[in-house]
C-alpha cells in the first residue's frame, strides 16, 4: 500500500495561506534593487559550492524538487507531489506542469534525471545518495528514486538547501564542477556575472509560480519577481556597505556592524532587519591529545566559561544565549544538557582542573581573523581559562589554514578550534549532529574513532521511524555531547541586514530572497 506524504506539505500550505487570504500580487513592479553583499562570489554553480555568497544569489535563479519553508519543513517546489512506497524503498515525484527553464525549454523528468546524474557525479553533498540504488524517469512528468534500504530522513536530506540538487536543463549535465551555466527555473534569470564586481539578474517573464501556495515561504512557495532587475554588488568593506546604503546607491545590504546599526536607528530612510540565529558560535576540543583528551579537563573548561562575555565580545552585543545545537523556534529544539551551559564558576572549574591530568602545559586555541566573531570569542575564552589557571595561548592563522589544521587526524597543533555553525543548525538536528560522527567527528577523537555512545544515538536519529522519536534521540545525543564536553556552543549570533525604507517585502532569511520584494516610489 502506498502512503501519500502530503501532511507536512499541506500544513505548510495552510500556514502560508493563512498569513494572507489571497494569492500574492506585486503592489508595484519595476526598478533595480542593488544589494551589497559582503563576500566575493567564486561561482554560481549551486551543485558544487557550499558558500553563503553563492547561495545568496544562485538560489534566486535555481529551484529544486523539494525545498524548505519558512519553518524549515520540507515542501515540494518543482515537484507537484511525492509518494513514499509502503516498503519505504521508492519515492515517486510528480512534476509540476508547464515549468520552463530560462532558455525557454519546458522542464521534464529527463531534465530532473540529468540533474541528479550531474549531482551524483560532482555535487558536494552527493553522500546523501549513499542509500540510493538508482533513479529513473518512467514518463515525462514522473521521477522515481529507488533506495537500497529504507532511510526515514531521505526527504529531509533531499530538501536541504545546503548544497541542493538544483534542476537544470539536461544539456548542461556535463558542465564541469564550478562551471555550471546559470540556467534554472527560478523567478530571476542571469544577465551578467562579473567576478569580483557584481551579478545582475532580471525578472524571468516565463516563470510559473507554484500555485499550491499563495505566498512565498522559505525558499519556496508562491514566488513572483516584482523587480525588473536585481544587482548583487560585492562590497567587502562594512563601512562601504553602510555608506552605500546611506547614499541610496545600495537598497539593501547584509552584515551591518553593530556601531553603524546604532547610528542608523534614527535614520528614517533605513530599515534595520536583524536576522536572529544566523549561526551558533562554537569551540570544539581536540580530544586526541592532552590535556583536552581528559574529560575532567574539558569539564573544567566548561565550568570556567561565561557565555555573556564571550558572545558580547564576539558579536558586539548582537546575540542570544542558546543552549545546544538548535534554536527555540525549531521543532527539534531541546535544552537537554543545559546544566553544562554558561556555568561561569571559577571554583568549580578549579576543582575539575585539580582532578584532571593537566600539568600546566600550553593549551592552544586555534582561531582566525577572517571571521572576527571567532577571533574575539577565542580572545575572551583565553582570558577566562587563564583566570582559572589554564595556560591558554592563541594560535591565529587564516581560515583555510585553521580548517586544514583542525581536520588533521591526531593533530598536535591545537586543543580548541573556533568556528561558527550556520547552515546546518538551520537545516535541523540531523545535519548538525553529523558533525559529531566519523569521518572527521568535530571533537577530533583519537584515530578518528567515534565515541560508540555518540554513534549509537546518531544512528537512532537516522533510523527511528517517527519525527518525534528522532527528536528525542537528538535530545539524548545533545545531552551526551554536552556532558562529555565534546563541544562548547557559546550562543546564537544575530546578523543585521538593512534596507532602504522604500524596499518592501524583504524579510531576512538564510539568503536574501528577491521574489515578492518590491520598491515603493
Partner 1 sequence: MIGVVLRRVASAMPVLLIVSLITFSLMRLIPGDPAAAIAGLAATPQMIAQIRADLGLDEPFLVQMASWYGNLLQGSLGRSILLGKPVVDATFERLPVTLGLSAYAMVLTLLIGLLSGIIAALRQNTMIDQIAMAFAMIGISLPSFFLGLLMIILFAVHLGWLPSGGYVPFWSDPWGWFRAMTMPAVSLAMLQAGLLARITRSTMLEVLRQDYIRTARAKGLPPRRVIFRHALANALIPITTVIGIIISLMISGSVVTEALFSLPGIGQLLTQAVLGRDYPMVQGGLLLVTALLVMVNILVDVAYALLDPRVRYE
Residues that bind partner 1 (CB under 8 A): 40, 42-43, 45, 48-52, 122, 124-127, 162, 176-179, 194-198, 233-237, 239-240, 243-244, 246-247, 249, 279, 370-371, 397-405, 407, 419-424, 434-435, 439-440
441 C-beta neighbours (distance < 10 Å), count: 21
- For partner 1, which is the closer residue by CB, 377 or 384? 377
DSSP assignment of 296-313 equals HHHHHHHHH--HHHHHHH
Q: Smallest distance, Å, CB 217 to partner 1?
A: 23
435 C-beta neighbours (distance < 10 Å), count: 20
Q: Smallest distance, Å, CB 43 to partner 1?
A: 6
456 C-beta neighbours (distance < 10 Å), count: 14
Cell numbers for 96, please give them. 509540476
Which residues on adjacent β-strands are paired with residue 273?
Answer: 497
Q: How far apart are CA 382 and CA 38, in angstroms?
A: 29
Q: Are 301 and 390 in contact (CB under 8 A)?
A: yes
Q: Smallest distance, Å, CB 72 to partner 1?
A: 16
Name the one residue in this structure whose C-alpha cell is 523567478.
187
Write the CB contacts of 226 (distance below 8 Å, at least 6 apart in sequence).
26, 27, 28, 29, 30, 203, 505, 515, 516, 517, 518, 519
Q: Smallest distance, Å, CB 278 to partner 1?
A: 11
- For partner 1, which is the closer residue by CB, 81 or 434? 434
20 C-beta neighbours (distance < 10 Å), count: 11
Spell out the SS3 assignment of 352-407. HHHHCCCCCCCEEEEEECCCHHHHHHHHHHHHHHHHCCCCEEEEEECHHHHHHHHH
- For partner 1, which is the closer residue by CB, 207 or 435? 435
Q: Name the helix (H) or strand (E) containing 93.
A: strand 90-95
Q: Are 136 and 113 in contact (CB under 8 A)?
A: yes
Q: How far apart are CA 98 and CA 211, in angstroms?
A: 12
Q: Smallest distance, Å, CB 20 to partner 1?
A: 33
Q: Is the dihedral of CA 298, 311, 255, 164 positive or negative?
A: positive
- For partner 1, which is the closer residue by CB, 107 or 264? 264
- For partner 1, which is the closer residue by CB, 122 or 187? 122
Q: Smallest distance, Å, CB 421 to partner 1?
A: 7
Cα distance between the two ends of the chain: 56
Q: How many CA atoms lie within 13 A of 442 on its CB side?
A: 22
- For partner 1, which is the closer residue by CB, 7 or 194? 194
- For partner 1, which is the closer residue by CB, 49 or 318? 49
Q: Smallest distance, Å, CB 180 to partner 1?
A: 9
Residue 220 burial (C-beta neighbours within 10 Å; 0-12, 13-18, 19+) = buried
Q: How far is CA 142 from CA 96, 100, 116, 420, 425, in A?
A: 10, 16, 14, 40, 32
Amino acid at each position: 500500500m502506498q502512503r501519500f506524504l502530503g501532511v507536512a506539505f499541506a500544513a505548510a500550505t495552510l500556514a502560508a495561506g493563512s498569513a494572507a487570504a489571497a494569492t500574492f500580487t506585486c503592489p508595484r513592479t519595476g526598478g533595480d534593487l542593488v544589494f551589497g553583499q559582503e563576500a566575493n562570489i567564486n561561482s554560481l554553480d549551486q551543485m558544487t559550492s557550499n558558500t553563503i555568497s553563492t547561495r545568496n544569489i544562485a538560489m534566486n535563479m535555481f529551484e529544486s524538487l523539494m525545498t524548505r519553508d519558512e519553518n524549515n519543513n520540507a515542501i515540494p517546489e518543482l515537484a507537484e507531489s511525492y509518494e513514499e512506497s509502503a516498503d519505504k524503498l521508492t519515492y515517486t515525484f510528480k512534476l509540476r506542469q508547464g515549468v520552463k527553464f530560462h532558455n525557454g525549454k519546458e522542464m521534464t523528468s529527463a531534465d530532473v534525471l540529468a540533474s541528479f546524474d550531474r549531482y551524483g557525479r560532482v555535487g558536494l553533498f552527493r553522500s546523501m545518495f549513499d542509500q540510493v540504488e538508482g533513479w529513473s524517469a518512467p514518463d515525462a512528468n514522473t521521477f522515481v528514486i529507488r533506495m537500497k534500504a529504507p532511510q526515514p530522513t531521505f526527504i529531509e536530506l533531499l530538501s536541504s538547501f545546503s548544497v541542493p540538487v538544483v534542476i537544470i536543463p539536461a544539456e548542461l549535465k556535463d558542465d564541469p564542477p564550478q562551471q555550471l551555466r546559470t540556467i534554472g527555473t527560478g523567478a530571476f534569470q542571469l544577465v551578467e556575472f562579473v567576478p569580483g564586481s557584481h551579478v545582475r539578474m532580471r525578472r524571468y517573464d516565463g516563470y510559473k509560480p507554484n500555485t499550491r501556495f499563495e505566498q512565498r515561504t522559505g525558499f519556496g512557495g508562491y514566488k513572483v519577481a516584482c523587480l525588473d532587475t536585481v544587482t548583487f554588488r560585492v562590497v567587502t568593506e562594512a563601512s562601504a556597505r553602510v555608506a552605500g546604503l546611506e547614499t541610496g546607491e545600495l537598497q539593501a545590504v547584509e552584515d551591518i556592524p553593530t556601531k553603524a546599526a546604532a547610528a542608523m536607528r534614527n535614520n528614517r530612510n533605513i530599515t534595520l532587519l536583524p536576522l536572529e540565529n544566523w549561526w551558533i558560535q562554537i569551540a570544539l576540543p581536540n580530544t586526541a591529545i592532552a590535556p583536552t583528551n581528559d574529560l575532567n579537563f574539558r569539564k573544567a573548561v566548561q565550568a570556567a566559561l561565561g557565555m555573556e562575555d564571550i558572545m558580547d565580545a564576539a558579536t558586539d552585543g548582537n546575540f542570544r544565549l542558546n543552549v545546544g545545537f538548535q534554536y527555540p523556534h525549531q521543532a527539534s529544539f531541546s535544552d537537554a544538557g543545559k546544566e553544562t551551559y554558561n556555568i561561569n564558576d571559577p571554583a568549580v572549574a578549579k576543582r575539575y582542573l585539580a582532578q584532571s591530568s593537566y600539568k600546566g602545559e600550553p593549551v592552544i586555541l586555534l582561531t582566525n581573523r577572517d571571521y572576527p566573531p571567532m577571533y574575539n570569542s577565542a580572545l575572551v575564552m583565553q582570558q577566562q581559562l587563564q583566570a582559572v589557571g589554564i595556560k591558554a595561548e592563541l594560535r591565529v592563522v587564516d581560515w583555510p589554514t585553521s580548517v586544514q589544521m583542525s581536520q588533521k587526524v591526531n593533530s598536535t597543533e591545537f586543543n580548541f578550534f573556533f568556528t561558527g555553525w550556520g547552515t546546518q543548525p538551520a537545516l535541523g538536528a540531523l545535519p548538525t549532529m553529523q558533525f559529531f560522527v566519523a569521518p572527521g567527528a568535530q571533537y577530533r577523537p583519537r584515530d578518528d574513532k567515534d565515541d560508540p555512545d555518540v554513534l549509537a544515538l546518531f544512528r537512532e536519529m537516522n533510523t527511528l521511524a517517527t519525527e518525534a522519536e528522532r527528536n528525542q534521540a537528538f535530545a539524548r545525543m545533545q545531552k551526551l555531547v554536552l556532558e562529555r564536553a565534546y563541544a562548547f556552543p557559546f550562543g546564537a549570533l544575530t546578523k543585521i541586514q538593512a534596507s532602504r525604507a522604500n524596499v518592501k517585502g524583504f524579510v531576512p532569511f538564510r539568503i536574501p530572497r528577491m521574489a515578492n520584494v518590491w520598491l515603493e516610489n
